Amino acid sequence: MEGHKPVLSEETIELLAPHDGGYYLDCTFGGGGHTRLILDTAETRVLALDQDPDAAQRAREFKVQYGERFHFQRRNFADIDQIEEGPFDGILFDFGVSSFQLDQADRGFSFRGDAPLDMRMNPESGEPSAEEWLAKASRPELIEAIKDYGEEKNWRRIVDAVIEARAKTPLHTTKALSELILSCIPAKQCYASKIHPATKAFQGIRIAVNNEIENIEKGLPIAFERLKPNGRLCVISFHSLEDRIAKNLFRLWAGRPAPGDNRPQDMRSRRANLLTRRPTQASDGEIAANSRSRSAKLRALSKAE
Ligand SMILES: C[S@@+](CC[C@H](N)C(=O)[O-])C[C@H]1O[C@@H](n2cnc3c(N)ncnc32)[C@H](O)[C@@H]1O
């Protein structure tokens, strides 16, 4: 397994600006790529979170290497209000799944190979697996997942096919789902596509199964409150819906007009300064070396004093 290459790593470290004595919160530890950079750039301390049991296992190696400078909690970042540590000099979110999760076939995230259809970042959460979710989801829920989260243009056909297929036999495996999706995509589009034709629908179902959008909506505002004055918040997103949440909250905190906020300007307070007017994106070199970085967008702010 090749492991996970942290995206926009130089840009993130430049914006997060870790400094000696600083205390940082990495809300999405994954393979620890960004955490390692924060620990190696200066004499910092890091508290890392991840809901995935395999990430917790990888964190043990960090503990051996970095000792008291590093702590890990297995936790959903939607529940940051339950952590007692902080406040922090910097907080990082790097949304989505890691290459470890995608590459480990038995986690059920990938349309390659054949595995039980799980897709949960935390399989012990008590929440339904992708198989259970697909068996019960209503038509509007399927549409939200495949059309809105997956941005799949053949969503109508795929939703109909899932509803028809599950009436006969449950979708147990990644292969069964992948074949069903492929049967809904015109051959011409399959040949023309640079990505696997099941990529988008799988992404949409994964986002729904893990409540990814709700977790971000809940976690980001709590994280902001855990920043010290002058503390920095960096958010890396991979999907337009994720980026929109960050963009609108950042505008709100920066005292700028955000959608739905019709207050006169003098009623707004500035609680943060934007460090990125537009999101930072990967260079051509990074995209060539790591195709995951193609859709990455990084936004950063500094909390006001
Ligand atoms: C893109 S990876 C992070 C990679 C990491 N920055 C690195 O450099 O190795 C995202 C990680 O966040 C975790 N994750 C996603 N949503 C989460 C949530 N709501 N709570 C906690 N962890 C979450 C996933 O399990 C995954 O390990």
| Comparison of pLDDT for 102 and 224, the residue scoring more | 224
pLDDT attached to residue 191: 81
What is the CA(101)–ligand 1 centre distance, in A? 10
Q: What average pLDDT does the segment 181-200 reach?
A: 88
Pick the CATH number of 128-209 from 1.10.150.170, 3.30.950.10, 3.90.800.10, 3.10.580.10: 1.10.150.170
Q: Which of 233, 298, 252, 238 is nearest to 8 (CA)?
A: 298
DSSP state of 283: -
pLDDT attached to residue 262: 83
Strand 227-237 and strand 272-274: pairing?
unpaired
pLDDT classification of 202: cutoffs 50, 70, 90: very high
Query: Which of 121, 245, 290 gets mutated to test ligand 1 (max ligand atoms within 8 A of its CB)?
Result: 121
Query: Which of 5, 28, 58 gets mutated to test ligand 1 (max ligand atoms within 8 A of its CB)?
Result: 28
- Domain coordinates of the chain in residue numbers? 9-100+213-303, 128-209
The pTM for the full model equals 0.96
Calpha distance 179→18 (Å, rounded): 46
Burial class (CB within 10 angstroms; exposed 0-12, middle 13-18, buried 19+) of 205 = buried
Look at ligand 1, atom 20, and give the residue with the nearest C-alpha.
76
What is the CA(221)–ligand 1 centre distance, in A? 18
pLDDT classification of 2: cutoffs 50, 70, 90: low
What is the CA(77)–ligand 1 centre distance, in A? 9
Q: What average pLDDT does the segment 258-265 reach?
A: 82
pLDDT of 1 above 70: no
The ligand 1 site (C-beta within 6 Å) comprises: 4, 6, 28, 30-34, 49-52, 55, 76-78, 94, 96-98, 121, 215
What is the CA(156)–ligand 1 centre distance, in A? 30
pLDDT of 11 above 80: yes
pLDDT in tens, 178-189: 999 999 998 888
pLDDT of 176 above 50: yes
> HEC states along 198-257?
CHHHHHHHHHHHCCHHHHHHHHHHHHHHCEEEEEEEEEEECCHHHHHHHHHHHHHHCCCC
Which tokens go with 143? 């549409």
How much is the mean pLDDT over the chain?
95
pLDDT classification of 139: cutoffs 50, 70, 90: very high
Q: What average pLDDT does the segment 136-165 reach?
A: 97
pLDDT in tens, 62-109: 999 999 999 999 999 999 999 999 999 999 999 999 999 998 989 999
Q: What average pLDDT does the segment 109-131 reach?
A: 94
Query: Which of 98, 124, 211 gets mutated to test ligand 1 (max ligand atoms within 8 A of its CB)?
Result: 98
Calpha distance 56→260 (Å, rounded): 39
Which of 9-37 are b and which e, b meaning 16 or more Cβ less than 10 Å from the residue's Cβ?
A: bebbbebbbbeeebbbbbbbbbbbbbbbb
∠ at Cα 184 (183, 185), nearest 5°? 95
Which residues, other chains included, contact 164 with Cβ-Cβ below 8 Å and sequence gap of 6+?
none
pLDDT classification of 192: cutoffs 50, 70, 90: confident
CATH architecture of 9-100+213-303: 3-Layer(aba) Sandwich (3.40)
% of the chain residues with pLDDT over 70: 99
Q: What average pLDDT does the segment 140-146 reach?
A: 98
Tell me the one-letter amino acid at 141: E
Q: Which atom of ligand 1 is nearest to the CA of 55?
A: 27
